[in-house]
Structure 1
Amino acid sequence: MSTHQPLIAVHADEVVPRTKPSNYPEPFASRMNGREKRQLGDVFGLTNFGVNLTRLAPNAVSALRHSHTRQDEFIYILAGHPTLRTDEGDTQLAPGMCAGFKAGTGNAHHLVNNTSETVVYLEVGDRTPGDQGAYPDDDIQAELKDGVWQFRHKDGTPY
């Protein structure tokens, strides 16, 4: 019989940041410099959705601007004033504001920190198998296969 007790609660800042800054291949991975993710959901063994406590240093971005075919996403701003960039344009966010991105709409989005202060936010997304990511600004596309993102050029050749 195991004496291991399940983890009930943690202080989010004590969760070790993800060691690999990005799943993107180069030349895109280095564009994520200044982004730090703490995978809070993984600490508790959550498998249906992920929760990240994310920090963006000044001039950092949250991700390449993207949309998902099957994954809903949600963000909640805790600190700082990032710019939310979507197909509709730019929206200035502030602490206490939130945004959601429904799967299948094709509305590409990401956060940009154009300020001199650190931005801190929670991001929540599901882990629906077969999800695909579209990146209108870059020569990249993605597909979630067996829990791993696979990246290709838009012409289908692998990175």
Structure 2
Amino acid sequence: MNRQPQSKPQALVADQAPLRAKPSNYPPEVVAMLQSVLAGREKRPLGDLFGLTNFGVNLTTLAPGAASSIRHAHSMQDEFIYIVSGTPTLVTDEGRSVLSPGMCAGFKAGSGNAHQLVNESPDPVMVLEVGDRTDGDTATYPEADLLGRQQGGQWLFFRKNGEAF
């Protein structure tokens, strides 16, 4: 019996998975404005490698000075993070907290509590990110002229006045 090669791995070493092909989902104009913050961020889309479609899993590495994202809140998507290594600063509406390996945090959909991780330390940070992929989810960004909407498996971005990028 001939067996076809598997297109999806059964298992892999997470920090050796390929990097996401596109460094950011943000529009090019936003990436250009935030180049210094996003330049030190690497995402490895682990869930995609296994064909997962209901939720995403990323292993994200942040170089010193880099951020996980623009501070944001989701309307319909729960998010969860687990600190693998390093000491990132969690920035939320409540303030700033330094996290350490083994710590985790969750962000309930619809809470309006905008969040991001920033690496203010001299060492790299590695974090496991998990979030669902609810169609129709919106993301708000308090410090940026940006709104996001999950539609048909991809993010669409607009200015706060509704103008598309």
**Equivalent in the alignment of 2:51:** 45
Structure 1 unmatched ranges of 5 or more: none
1:3 matched to 2:9: no
Superposed displacement of residue 9, structure 1:
0.7
Q: Deviations over 1:57-102 (max 9, x none)?
A: 0000000000000100000001111000000000110000000001
State the TM-score, normalizing by the size of structure 2. 0.92
**Equivalent in the alignment of 1:19:** 21
1:34 matched to 2:36: no
1:87-98 maps to which residues of 2 (within 5 A)? 87-98=93-104
1:28 partner SS: helix
1:41 partner SS: helix
1:123 partner SS: strand
2:28 partner SS: coil
Deviates more, 1:46-55 or 1:28-37: 28-37
- Percent of residue pairs identical: 56
Cα distance in 2 for partners of 1:97, 1:140 equals 30
Structure 2 unmatched ranges of 5 or more: none
1:1-159 maps to which residues of 2 (within 5 A)? 3-5=4-6, 7-29=9-31, 30=35, 31-159=37-165
Deviates more, 1:6-15 or 1:75-84: 6-15
Cα distance in 1 for partners of 2:3, 2:39 equals 41
Structure 1 residues 156 and 2, CA gap change in structure 2 (3 angstroms): farther
Cα distance in 2 for partners of 1:151, 1:113 equals 25
Cα distance in 1 for partners of 2:15, 2:103 equals 21
State the TM-score, normalizing by the size of structure 1. 0.96
Cα distance in 1 for partners of 2:23, 2:9 equals 25
Matched residue count: 159
Q: Give the 4+ runs in structure 1 shifted more than 3 A.
A: none
Amino acid at match of 1:58: P
Cα distance in 1 for partners of 2:88, 2:9 equals 32
Cα distance in 2 for partners of 1:25, 1:129 equals 19
